Amino acid sequence: MADLSIKDIAEIAGVGVSTVSRVLNDHPDVGAKTREKVLQIIEEYNYIPNNSARNLKRSSTNNIGVLVKGIHNPFFSQMIKAVEEEINKKDYSMILHYNEKNSNDIEVAIELIKEKKLKGLICLGGDFDDLENNQLLNLKTPIVLTSINITEEVNKDVFSSVIIENEVAAFEAVDYLCKLGHKKIGLVSTGEGDKNVGRLRHEGYKRALKANGLEYNEDFISFAHYTFKSGYESMNRLLDKDLDITAVFVTSDIMAIGASKAILSRGLRIPEDISVVGFDGIEYSEYFHPSITTVKQPVEEMGRKSTEILFHLIEDKKEQQHIVFKTELLERESCKKLK
């Protein structure tokens, strides 16, 4: 049978449609007995309100967009999962969209918001810096940037954000290697084009070297992007230089796994010959052999918090929030103390 409408329910319950609507939306002025009866009929006939009609009338949807740059990174898969769970609890729908590597994230976001009439958007990774004439601002849709570094101070009034202390975290990681006695520490990191988290991790590396009286040398840097393969190749380029590095900091776990593979494939040992520290704390790094010491981001928490902020923005129209999470260095098998 065709779906029941609110009119049918009203008729069955012997009340007006507006009354049913009020019950449905928890509006106050409806008598207790009437409310009870209507609720019972709804239950009995398994009535589900038509969302399209609702959305049309309310001129908005229940759609939350999630825009992801770099699906292949399990770090984001995990985050998506957490986000989905939160969204689902509140009876919104998650519309997932993956961004190509070279797409203009801002443009895609705008189009997505307009086209799907999104009520809010969460962006996982990507670049949202070059905001021209407040395109995004005047469509008034709340946006949360997660794992994205906002460089322009002014943009903090446009977006909310959830992030970690990338610079500090990287500092701690490299400082850890220094304290273990390493003097020649390589860096495998995302390129200079990366104004986002990659740059900050790079900065942390620099600062840690300096703090430990070591010289920063560009020869020790090799660029990559967020894939196994790129980490592998980048590490190989670094090793080809014969710099006798004893440790390497890699700014993401999947790259760290690629890099580790490169090291091991050459017959070098981890950590005996080269120590490795990764970044992210995905499960993969724990099950690599040897397990990889890494900087763990509280990924689920970050996902949940992002969603929570978004709902605040949507429901209460509060001002933007900027949350910074702490990270934790997980010591595992991939690092060795030099004597």
Partner DNA sequence: AAAGAAATTGGAAACGTTTCCGGTAACGAT
Partner DNA sequence: ATCGTTACCGGAAACGTTTCCAATTTCTTT
* Rounded Cα distance, 226 and 231, in Å: 7
- Residue 18, binding choice from a copy of itself, DNA, none, Cβ under 5 to 8 Å by partner class: DNA
Is-contact 128 159, C-beta < 8 A?
A: yes
- Residue 7, binding choice from DNA, a copy of itself, none, Cβ under 5 to 8 Å by partner class: DNA
In the window 43-102, what residues touch DNA (CB under 7 A)?
47, 49-50, 53-54, 56-59
Residue 95 CB-half CA count within 13 A: 15
Q: C-beta of 64: minimal distance to DNA in Å?
A: 18
- Residue 24, binding choice from a copy of itself, DNA, none, Cβ under 5 to 8 Å by partner class: DNA
Q: Quick one: 128 or 284, whose CB is closer to a copy of itself?
A: 284
Q: Quick one: 30 or 235, whose CB is closer to DNA?
A: 30
Q: C-beta of 18: minimal distance to DNA in Å?
A: 3
Q: Quick one: 7 or 326, whose CB is closer to DNA?
A: 7
Q: Quick one: 34 or 55, whose CB is closer to a copy of itself?
A: 55
Burial of 60 (0-12, 13-18, 19+ CB in 10 A): middle
Q: Does 19 bind DNA (CB under 7 A)?
A: yes
Residue 135 in tokens: 């395109």
Q: C-beta of 30: minimal distance to a copy of itself in Å?
A: 24
- Residue 156, binding choice from a copy of itself, DNA, none, Cβ under 5 to 8 Å by partner class: none
Q: C-beta of 47: minimal distance to a copy of itself in Å?
A: 11
Q: Quick one: 30 or 80, whose CB is closer to a copy of itself?
A: 80
Q: C-beta of 12: minimal distance to a copy of itself in Å?
A: 19
Residue 25 CB-half CA count within 13 A: 11
Q: Quick one: 61 or 222, whose CB is closer to DNA?
A: 61
- Residue 284, binding choice from a copy of itself, DNA, none, Cβ under 5 to 8 Å by partner class: a copy of itself
β-sheet bridge partners, residue 63: 93
Residue 270 in tokens: 């981890």
In this chain, which of 31, 90, 115, 241 binds DNA, going by CB under 7 A? Answer: 31
Q: C-beta of 26: minimal distance to DNA in Å?
A: 10
Residue 114 in tokens: 């307009």
Q: C-beta of 296: minimal distance to DNA in Å?
A: 43
Number of residues binding to DNA, judged by CB under 7 A: 32
Residue 264 in tokens: 């091991």
* Rounded Cα distance, 153 and 131, in Å: 12
Q: Does 22 bind DNA (CB under 7 A)?
A: yes
> What is the helix (H) or strand (E) element at residue 185, kind and residue range?
strand 185-190
- Residue 25, binding choice from a copy of itself, DNA, none, Cβ under 5 to 8 Å by partner class: DNA
Residues making contact with a copy of itself (CB under 8 A) = 48, 50-53, 55-56, 59, 61, 63, 71-72, 74, 77-78, 80-81, 84-85, 88, 93-98, 114-117, 228, 232, 257-258, 260-261, 264-265, 283-284, 286-289, 291
Q: C-beta of 294: minimal distance to a copy of itself in Å?
A: 15
Residue ranges binding DNA (CB under 7 A): 2-3, 5-7, 14-19, 21-22, 24-25, 28-35, 47, 49-50, 53-54, 56-59
